[in-house]
Amino acid sequence: MSVLLDNVTNCVCLAFDVLQQDQTGFVNKSKLKVLTANIGTLLDLYGVEKGLEHFKSASQLSFDQYKYYLQNEVFSSFPNKLPMSEIREYESRIAEVCWLVCRKKYLQRENKTFTEQAIFQIFRTFCVLAEMTLDAHEHSYHVSLHPTEVCAVAQTLANSLGCIFDEDDFNNLSTSMGNFRLGPFIAVLESRCIPLVKDDIAIKEAVTDIYQRIVEDVIKKGYLSKKGYIFPTMKEYWFVLRPSELTYYKSRSEKDKCDTLIIEKGSRIEPQSTGFRFLLHTPDRHFELGASDHMTRLQWISSLQLAIDHSDRNQSYQRLQAAKRRIQRQGRIQEMTKARALLQEERNARQLAEGQAKELEAVVREDSKKLSELLDIKIKLEKLLEEETQAKRDEEIVRALQARILTEEWEKREEMERLQDEQHLLLEEERRRRKEYEERQQENKRELKNAVDKLAELEREKQALDVELRNAREKIVSSEGKKDFLEAQLYQYTPVLKSSEGGIRRAHSFVPSTKEKPLYLEVRSATLKRPLKK
């Protein structure tokens, strides 16, 4: 239900603020589960805190996220419209749970003028009248009370206790502080309203009276006489009027409740001519009531009519009045903003006019200065005119001289142009010769490069021939070793060879004579005598 959630949002926000370990704007889900379980128990809802585990993936929640969860998982099960008495009862229970979270923070003060019960009632009053704002620097919500609301509550409390409330001093304080949070609000009530009051009972009654008027939505209280049902006699009771009901008690202590008269939209008030009586007509029946004097009767008739007008509302009378005052403050702020804008425009226009006047004055001074300068210039011009006339005569003489000098200059210029053309021709000839020299130099470089390449190729061929010569020498040495080995074998085994004529030839006859040069020596000699390529 949105109305109940709106009514308890400030209480929940204060509890949420206390549960923060640091000013990051987030609270662990474990702490929120306890608070949610208590709220669900008061609303006859069980297990509503279990959904927090699966709500969002983070282990911490901001107040926006937590409020969204309460709206969709807790308060959504309530019907759209409930009697105002039930809403007030649920609101009171939830406020008590939130106070259990906040009490330790707001009860730890040095000067304890108020009792714990009075602090709780001030807490409830603050939650009804305060506004929730977002702090852009801390990225968190704060519940604060406007200085006009603080002034009204403080002045009412001071008047109830017979104290003098210094409104000018409070205005200076509110100018420096701005909106009040709960802690400064309690401190202001203690320091500005009851600094010299020592009667705890009087303080308790004054705070209770403010609490009943603002939180419990009591429009008026007082003694009235009521005509009985059976015996038509008038008997005095203590009546407490709210927008939807008129409750009467046996005494002012409001302990022994007698009955409650339901006030609905169709009810009406009818004054009586006899005594100070009046009739309260409801859709079910009518009641005859009497006051002690004419003024008291008028006050009760006006209060009852106010209760009838607000009997069908789904929001309390004091909350509606607080919202109305909030809208009026915003309207006044807008009007002040517009007035400041108009004032600024007028100031700018005045400054602009003053600037224009100063500019005109400066222009006049500048014109006067220019006039005097023009007179001086006129005198100077006349003098210059005389000098110019003399200068013209001198100029004619100078022009004749210049004509002669110009003729000489033209002759010198023609001579210089002729010399310049000859110099250009010489430069062109020099460029041509230089170009031919560069071409010859490039050709020599190419020939030198070809010779170097040819020399490198011959060197590679020489190295290849050296390798071949070395290999041939190795083969000759190897063949000589094999020859000596074969000769040794032939000498060891000397079989008798038979020739084709029948003669016998020994093995050593195969040995060449010393006069004959071996084949390998001829090859070697031929190889060494071959000229090397360069």
Length of the chain equals 534
From the list 53, 31, 52, 33, the residue with the least C-alpha distance to 41 is: 33
∠45-46-49 over CA atoms, to 5°? 105
Q: Is residue 484 part of a domain?
A: no
How far is Cα 61 from Cα 43, in angstroms, rounded to an integer?
A: 22
Q: Which two tokens stand for residue 249?
A: 């008690």
Residues 44 and 193 in one domain: yes
How far is Cα 521 from Cα 524, in angstroms, rounded to an integer?
A: 5
The Cβ of residue 17 has, within 10 Å, a number of other Cβ atoms equal to 21
How much is the pLDDT for 431?
Answer: 92
Domain carrying residue 23? 2-214
How far is Cα 245 from Cα 88, in angstroms, rounded to an integer?
A: 13
Q: What is the pLDDT of residues 192-213, one digit of tens each?
A: 888 777 888 888 899 999 999 9
Q: Which residue has the higher pLDDT, 426 or 53?
A: 426
Mean predicted confidence (pLDDT) in 408-420 = 91
Which of 261, 291, 315 lies at the terminal end of a domain, its last residue? 315
Residues 203 and 255 in one domain: no
Which of 315, 337, 359 lies at the terminal end of a domain, its last residue? 315
DSSP 517: P
Q: Is the pLDDT of residue 223 over 90?
A: yes
How much is the pLDDT for 508?
Answer: 42
The Cβ of residue 178 has, within 10 Å, a number of other Cβ atoms equal to 9
How much is the pLDDT for 436?
Answer: 92
Q: What is the pLDDT of residues 297-344, one digit of tens each?
A: 999 999 999 999 888 887 888 888 888 988 998 888 888 889 989 999
Residue 196: CB partners within 8 Å, gap ≥ 6? 163
Return the SS3 of 131: strand
In the chain, the largest separation of any two C-alpha atoms, in whole Å, equals 195
| DSSP secondary structure of 82-106 | --HHHHHHHHHHHHHHHHHHHHHHH
Look at the chain and report how many structural domains it folds into. Answer: 2
DSSP 284: S
Q: Which of 127-136, 356-365, 418-427 has the lowest mean pLDDT?
A: 127-136
Please state the φ and ψ torsions of residue 315, each to the nearest 5 degrees: -135, 150
Residues 54 and 195 in one domain: yes
Whether this prediction's pTM lies above 0.85 is answered by no
Residue 394: CB partners within 8 Å, gap ≥ 6? none
List the CATH number of the domain containing 286: 2.30.29.30
Q: What is the pLDDT of residues 258-282, one digit of tens each?
A: 988 888 888 899 998 877 899 999 8
